[in-house]
Structure 1
Amino acid sequence: MQGEQGDNLVYNDEELRLMIKIAHMYYEEDMTQSQIAKELNINRTAISRTLKKMREEGTVKISINYNLSKTFQIEQELVKRFRLKEAIVVPCEKGQSSQTKLRSLGRGAAQLLNRIIEDNDVVGFSWGSSLAATIDELVTTKEQDVLFVPLIGGPSGKLESKYHVNTIVYNAAQLFNGKSKLIDFPALVEKKKTAEDIKQSIYFQEILKLWDKVTIALVGIGSPALSGSSTWGGFYGEEFCEELESANVAGDICSHFYNLNGEQVPTSISERTISIDLDHLKEMRYSVGIAESPEKVSAIIGALNGRYLNVLVTTEETAELILKKSVQLT
């Protein structure tokens, strides 16, 4: 019989023997509760109650070795600080090349996509090197009823074809044996009237309807701090980069710009841009930002403050800088 002695529960020898036996079978021999119930001729519910009681009383102590995942605590800090659904922080060693970091970033995003994608999802992509790296690292045996769509027009020949949104979307669909919808107009047109004509076209209206149905978005994050790079600065041009600096722009997603607080900033290209609205990203089941580098820290913080993302995939180095700077800003 079970009695009480002060605050400590006291069991007779038979009760203790049975409890220890159940714990050993469950934790050491990896037997299921149903298997234990059958072998000991005890109700499965009683097995479950016994295991729960042993954990509560400290007879069984479960220890998780968080050191096995050196980035776990950083991920949890990001989730808590920015109210994220999830954060994936990939380890990086000091002195790693940018290409090595990019591959690690892509691998983390690819594993996430493999885990969260479901039948009937509509998955949207922006363009750029981090999205291309995600597809490069994507290995799947899944065949799913999924539609892949672009979230922004093409870069008008200003990027390598592997970074083009249509290339990324098509390759993702091939890997999942899904379907894809490509986009045949640029992200940035020369005149406002041209953008208005495109947006009134039947083809664009089809794209617009698909944007309303996107359940998972994977987007890169741009930063004016990278205006000297051949990719970002080359796409927008030197004069426009100066405009962004004077407007205190922190970053962009799909060529929509925002400040450090996440507030959208209108620019001279706003009415000439063909891409999904940032507010759409707030409504999706998963809105995943994939970005790293010290130069992108402010851009990432702005995107998180604006709630345009509910998942962040970044490197350990960048994550630590994000947390440090976000504390300084509070």
Structure 2
Amino acid sequence: MGRGNNANGGDEYSLGLRAAWLHYAGGLTQAAVARKLRLTSVKTHRLIARAVADGAVKLSIDGDIIECLEMEAALSERYDLQVCEVAPDLAEPGLPLRALGIAGASYMARVIDQSGGGPIGLGHGRTLAAAVGELPQRAGDKTRFVSLLGGLTRNFAANPHDVMYRIAERTESPAHVMPVPFCANSVHDKSILLAQRGVREVFEMAQSAPIKLVGLGTVDTEAQLVRAGMIDQSELAGIVAAGAVGEVLGHFFDADGQQVATPLDGRTLTISLLENTGDDELVAIAGGVDKAASIAAVLESRKLTGLIIDEATSRRILGRPAA
């Protein structure tokens, strides 16, 4: 859809349309647009000027991305999001990992540029791994990354969708892993693990990270928590019985966005979900029409401040017909 979406021209074009849309149609000042898109004022001005010079700004904003921009505005209004980007459809079968990876990498690069040394918290999952995979190689800087939850399986094997080692390689920056399982055998075992000095320090860094990038999970038979070996089928059955529909960082929500008690409570090694104060950012990279109900459940919780999502899933959540 549109003029492509690569790391250079296509990404600049999409950013220019978003900036122009927010400025001319959304009524935001260029300074407000820069803050929303995590860009410098100079780059924002240049992108808007380029959109005008290219003829995209008339009585409306031209371009195939227009429907995505409209859905971004609708999702932001419905779920109180500070950041929302809808990745244009690339006609991928199944989970749109390339579209989400490209959009997620673009946003992640802007976050890194403005992090001021971090730390940036990272969850795990296929979509987040796809975003890290699309991130261009970068020279090392002051950015630090930290895992937001235990990165090992129940059998102390590596999580196949953990992103910490890959992000360290891509950015040449420190990446602090949480070297414990996602779920301890008991509440007592969890307390013992967290009492270890190195683990406790990483956990505290994760909790305090002002920017947190995460994936969202389902509770169906394809749930990544089970497929990756983080929990077992009997635990998943208890979660489903509790009424859970969607998951973020090991916290589960029903269709109305209410957090539900599950058999994992007190045993998961993950950060707590703080109330959004405007200072902390919790941005999800998530998609796939089969996950629409799960994503909507987490959105209803109002815990997220931002969302990177694909076009088809956005349409499903908003109840719009397919393009």
Q: Please state if 1:150 is matched with 2:143.
A: no
Q: Partner residue of 2:117?
A: 120
- AA paired with 2:64? L
- AA paired with 2:272? D
Q: Please state if 1:86 is matched with 2:83.
A: yes
Q: Whole-Å Cα distance in 1 between the matches of residues 151 and 111 of structure 2? A: 26
Which whole-Å deviations, capped at 9, do the CAs of 1:193-226 have from their partners, x for residues lacking one?
Answer: 111111222223202320243121111111113x
| TM-aligned CA deviation for residue 185 of structure 1 | 0.9
Q: Partner residue of 1:26?
A: none
Check whether the contact 2:146–2:177 (CA below 8 A) recurs between aligned residues.
Answer: yes
Which whole-Å deviations, capped at 9, do the CAs of 1:281-301 have from their partners, x for residues lacking one?
Answer: 766543111111223222212
Which whole-Å deviations, capped at 9, do the CAs of 1:68-123 have from their partners, x for residues lacking one?
Answer: 314111111111111111211112255x2236x11210110110011122222211
Q: Partner residue of 1:75?
A: 72
Q: Partner residue of 1:278?
A: 273
Q: 1:159 to 1:109 in 2, by over 3 A?
A: farther
Q: Whole-Å Cα distance in 1 between the matches of residues 290 and 206 of structure 2? A: 30
Which whole-Å deviations, capped at 9, do the CAs of 1:1-30 have from their partners, x for residues lacking one?
Answer: xxxxxxxxxxxxxxxxxxxxxxxxxxxxxx
Check whether the contact 1:66–1:72 (CA below 8 A) recurs between aligned residues.
Answer: no
Q: Partner residue of 1:233?
A: 226
Q: Whole-Å Cα distance in 2 between the matches of residues 108 and 158 of structure 1? A: 34
TM-score by length of 2: 0.72
| TM-aligned CA deviation for residue 141 of structure 1 | 3.8
Which whole-Å deviations, capped at 9, do the CAs of 1:127-173 have from their partners, x for residues lacking one?
Answer: 111111111100154543111000000231779957343xx123223
Q: How many residues align?
A: 259
In the alignment, which of 97, 117, 135 is matched to residue 93 of structure 2? 97
Q: Could you list the runs of 5+ residues in structure 1 that have no partner in the other structure?
A: 1-60, 326-330
Q: Partner residue of 2:208?
A: 213
Q: Please state if 1:136 is matched with 2:129.
A: no
| TM-aligned CA deviation for residue 249 of structure 1 | 0.5
TM-score by length of 1: 0.71
Q: Could you list the runs of 5+ residues in structure 2 that have no partner in the other structure?
A: 1-56
Q: Whole-Å Cα distance in 1 between the matches of residues 300 and 160 of structure 2? A: 27
**Alignment partner of 2:98: what SS?**
helix
Q: 1:146 to 1:228 in 2, by over 3 A?
A: closer
**Alignment partner of 1:257: what SS?**
strand
Q: Please state if 1:198 is matched with 2:189.
A: no
Which whole-Å deviations, capped at 9, do the CAs of 1:29-54 have from their partners, x for residues lacking one?
Answer: xxxxxxxxxxxxxxxxxxxxxxxxxx
| TM-aligned CA deviation for residue 245 of structure 1 | 2.2
Q: Whole-Å Cα distance in 2 between the matches of residues 159 and 130 of structure 1? A: 23
Query: Alignment RMSD, CA only?
Result: 2.5
Q: 1:62 to 1:92 in 2, by over 3 A?
A: closer
Q: 1:162 to 1:105 in 2, by over 3 A?
A: farther
Q: Partner residue of 1:246?
A: 241
Q: Please state if 1:297 is matched with 2:283.
A: no
Check whether the contact 1:127–1:163 (CA below 8 A) recurs between aligned residues.
Answer: no
- AA paired with 2:212? A
Identity within the alignment, % = 23
- AA paired with 2:169? Q
Q: Whole-Å Cα distance in 2 between the matches of residues 174 and 270 of structure 1? A: 34
Q: Partner residue of 1:315?
A: 310
Q: 1:204 to 1:220 in 2, by over 3 A?
A: same
